[in-house]
Structure 1
Amino acid sequence: LQGHDSSVSSVAVSADGSRIASGSWDKTIRIWNAVTGEAMVGPLMGHTDVVFSVAFSPHGKLLASGSRDRSIRLWDSETGQQEGQPLLGHSDSVWSVAFSPNGERIVSGCQDGILKIWDMNTRQTIREPLEVHDGSVMAVAYSPDGRRIVSGSYNSTIRVWDAQTGETVLGPLRGHTAPVTSVAFSPDATGSRIVSGSYDGTIRIWDAQTRRTVVGPWQAHVGVLSVAFMPDGKRVVSGGDDNLVKVWDVEAMEANA
C-alpha cells in the first residue's frame, strides 16, 4: 500500500477487518481498504509532527492518533474529519494510544514516562498521571475485559495497571534487557497472559496475575518491534528489525519449556 512519503510507524486494523489505518513520519494518516488495498480516506492532516501510533475504536467509527507534537487527535474514520479538539496534556511525544474495549476511554503513553486515561465523553483526563515509568512508554494495551492496562517501557520493564484506579497491580516485570517495544493481552475473556517484545530480540509470555514468565524468553528477531496474539490465543505473530514477520506456536513452545 503506497502513498506515505516517509516511514510508516504504526498500523491498525478495524474490528470488522475491512479497513487498515496507517500513521507515518510524514505527519499524516491514511485509511485503506483491507481487501483491495485501495486508499479510502486521507491523507488526514492535522498533526504537526511524526504520527507514532494509531488505533481504531471498537466500533470502528473513530480513529485515535498520537504524535510527537504531544497531542492525541480523534478522526471520523469514514470521512476523515477531525472529531473535536485535540486531547492535550502530555508534556512530550505521545508514543502509544489504545481504546478500552467499550470505546469509552483511551489510554496514552508518553515519552516522559507518564500514562494518561481519557474519558471519551468529556475528552478530559480521568487518571492523571498514573505512576511514572522510568523511561518512555513505548506501548500500551487494554485487557479484553477493560479492567487492566499493560504498558511497556524504554527502561526494559512492563507494568500492569488497574484501569479504574490507575494503581500498579503488577510489576515492574523485569527480564528484557532493552526497550519493550510492544505488549498485548491474550484474547481470552480476562486476558490471562501478556506477550511482550523487546529490542533485545526476544519475546516473553507472562502470567498476567503473577510476575512469572510462562514461555520464553526466546530469540525471535534481531530486534522485536511488534507482537500480537492471534485471535485463537494459541499463536503469536511478531515483526522485527530483520525485515521478517514470524508466527509462533505458543502451546508447542510451552509444552517443550
Structure 2
Amino acid sequence: MDLDGGNRRVFNRLGGSSAASPDSSKNQKVCYHWRAGKCSRFPCPFLHRELPHPSGPAAATSNGFGAPKRFADDSGFSGPALRRGPNFNNNHNNSWGRMGANKVVRKTEKVCNYWVQGNCSYGDKCRFLHSWSLGECFTLLNHLDGHQKVVTGIALPAGMDKLYTGSKDETVRAWDTNTGQCMGVINLGGEVGCMISEGPWLFVGIPNVVKAWNTQTNQELSLSGPVGQVYTMVVGNDLLFAGTQDGTILAWKFNAVTNNFEPAASLKGHTLAVVSLVVGANRLYSGSMDHSIKAWSLETLQCLQTLTEHTSVVMSLLCWEQFLLSCSLDQTIKVWVATESGNLEVTYTHKEEHGLLNLRGMPDSESKPVLMCSCNDNSVRLYDLPSFSEKGKIFAKQEIRAIEVGPGGLFFTGDGTGFIVWKWAEAVPKP
C-alpha cells in the first residue's frame, strides 16, 4: 500500500517483452511441436528456437558442507521492524514487483527423466535439464539420503558442528556438517510436523507434544499441552510459541530455577490449524488453514488485527525490513506494510502458477536479498527482492517442504528423498 495524501495506489507487476525484441509478438515459450520436428503452424505463436541458458559465475563443489563449526543467523530476514519509520517513502514501496535486469531466461524447465535414471543418450544435446537447478548463481554441494518420507524440518543449533533433520518418517537425524555423514537417528513415534533451534536447544513438534533437547547437556524435555499435530514453532520475547492442529497457539517460558519450560499462555482465535508463525516488530504473526493471518502483541499476547485477503491456507510467513510476506495455496505471495495507523495492508501481490508452501530469505553472494519460495509442483523459485525478478529455480522429485538458511552462503532444501546442501556462487569482482 503506497500512502500518498491518503490515496490508495494499486501496484501491478511490471515487465514483459520489449517492443524492440524480434520475438515480442510471440509467446515466450518454445514450441513443443517444433521440438518434436513436426510443427505445421505458420505463423506459429511460439518460438522456433531454444532460449539461451542463463550465464553467470560458476562455483566449485564440495563433498562436505563446508560450514564453520559455529553457526549464526546471518540471513538478515528475521525480526525486522514492521512499522512506518523515517525511511518509509513512496519510492521504496514503488519498487515492489518491478522487473530487474537479471531475469533468468528459461531453457526447458523440466528435468530429463532419462538423465535421472542415468541413461539419457542425448547428452549435452538433450532439450531437457540434466541438472536439479536452473541458474548459475548457486551450486549443489551434497545430496544426503536417509529419511524414508518427506523432510519437514531442518535446524542448525548454535555452537554445534551438526545439522538436524526431522521427517514424517517419525525420526530425527543428526548430520556431521564437515563430512555429511549421518551421526545418529532418534525415533520419536510420531510424525515430525516442524523443527527449530534456539541457542543450544532443539525443538521438535510431533502429535500432542513438543520435544526439547539441549544439544550441549543432552537434557531432554517433553512439553505437553498441544492437541493434535504441532505444525510450526517460533521463539520471541523469551517465549517458545507452537501452532497446533486445533487452532491454538501455545507459549512456554524457560524457568532457569527449575531448568524447565513452563506453560505461559494459550492464544485462541483461529478456527482451524495454525501452520505458520513468525516474529517481527514486537508482534507474533500466525497463518492458518482458516485462510487468515493474525497479528498478536508480544507484550500483551492479545490479537491486534486479523488479515483475510488470502483465499486458501496461509502456509508460510516471513519478515523483511518493514514488510511482512505471506504465501498461500491460493498461488499468491502477498507483501504487507504497516500504515500510519499501525495496521497492515497489502502493497503488492505476486502470483504463481502453483500453490506455495514455504518462504525463506537470505542474502546472495553480493549481499542482495533473495526470496526462496517452494511450490507444490516440486520446485523452489528464487527471486531478487524487491523486484521479484527470477534468479533461479530448484527442482526435486517430490514436494520441498523444508528450506533453511545456513552460514557462509549455505542453504538447505528437504523433500521426500532427503535433503540437499546448496551454496551461493562467489561474486565475480568488478573490473
| TM-score bucket (shorter structure) | 0.7 to 0.9
Rounded to whole Å, the distance in 1 between the matches of 2:160 and 2:329 is 29
For each residue in 1:182-204, what CA deviation from the matched residue of structure 2 results, as whole angstroms up to 9, or x when unmatched?
11222x4xxx2211111122111
Secondary structure of 2:386 counterpart: helix
The answer (yes or no) to whether the contact 1:131–1:167 under 8 Å persists in 2 is no
Q: Which runs of 5+ in 2 are unaligned?
A: 1-143, 390-431
CA RMSD of aligned residues (A): 2.4
More contact order relative to length (CA 8 Å, sep ≥ 6): 2
1:67 to 202, 206, 228: 206
1:221 Cα shift?
4.9
Is 2:270 the counterpart of 1:133?
Answer: yes
State the match for 2:360 in structure 1.
Answer: 228
Aligned pair count?
236
Percentage of pairs with the same residue: 26
The partner residue of 1:52 within 153, 172, 193 is 193
1:132 deviates by 2.1
**Offset of 1:157 from its aligned partner?**
0.9
Q: Normalising by structure 1, what TM-score? A: 0.82
2:172 corresponds to which residue?
29
Q: Quick one: distance in 1 between partners of 2:347 and 2:177? A: 34
Of residues 274, 284, 287, the one that matches 1:152 is 287
Cα gap change, 1:17 to 1:77, in 2 (>3 Å): closer
- Alpha-carbon distance, 1:160 to partner: 1.3
2:239 corresponds, among 102, 105, 112, to 105
Per-residue deviation at 1:235? 2.8
CA contact (8 A) 1:195 1:228 kept: no
Is 1:39–2:182 an aligned residue pair?
yes
Structure-2 residue corresponding to 1:87: 223
Task: Tell me if structure 1 keeps the 8 A contact 2:157–2:215.
Answer: no
Indicate which of 325, 331, 336 corresponds to 1:195.
Answer: 325
Matched, 1:213 2:356: no
Pick closer, same or farther for the CA change 1:14–1:195 going to 2, 3 Å. Answer: farther
Gaps of 5+ in 1: none
What do the CA deviations read for 1:86-110 (whole angstroms, capped 9, x no partner)?
Answer: 000122221111223x7x3210001
| CA distance in 1 between partners of 2:168 and 2:324 (Å) | 29
Q: Kindly state the Cα deviation for residue 2 of structure 1 after the two structures are TM-superposed.
A: 1.0
For residue 194 of structure 1, give the secondary structure of its aligned residue in structure 2.
strand
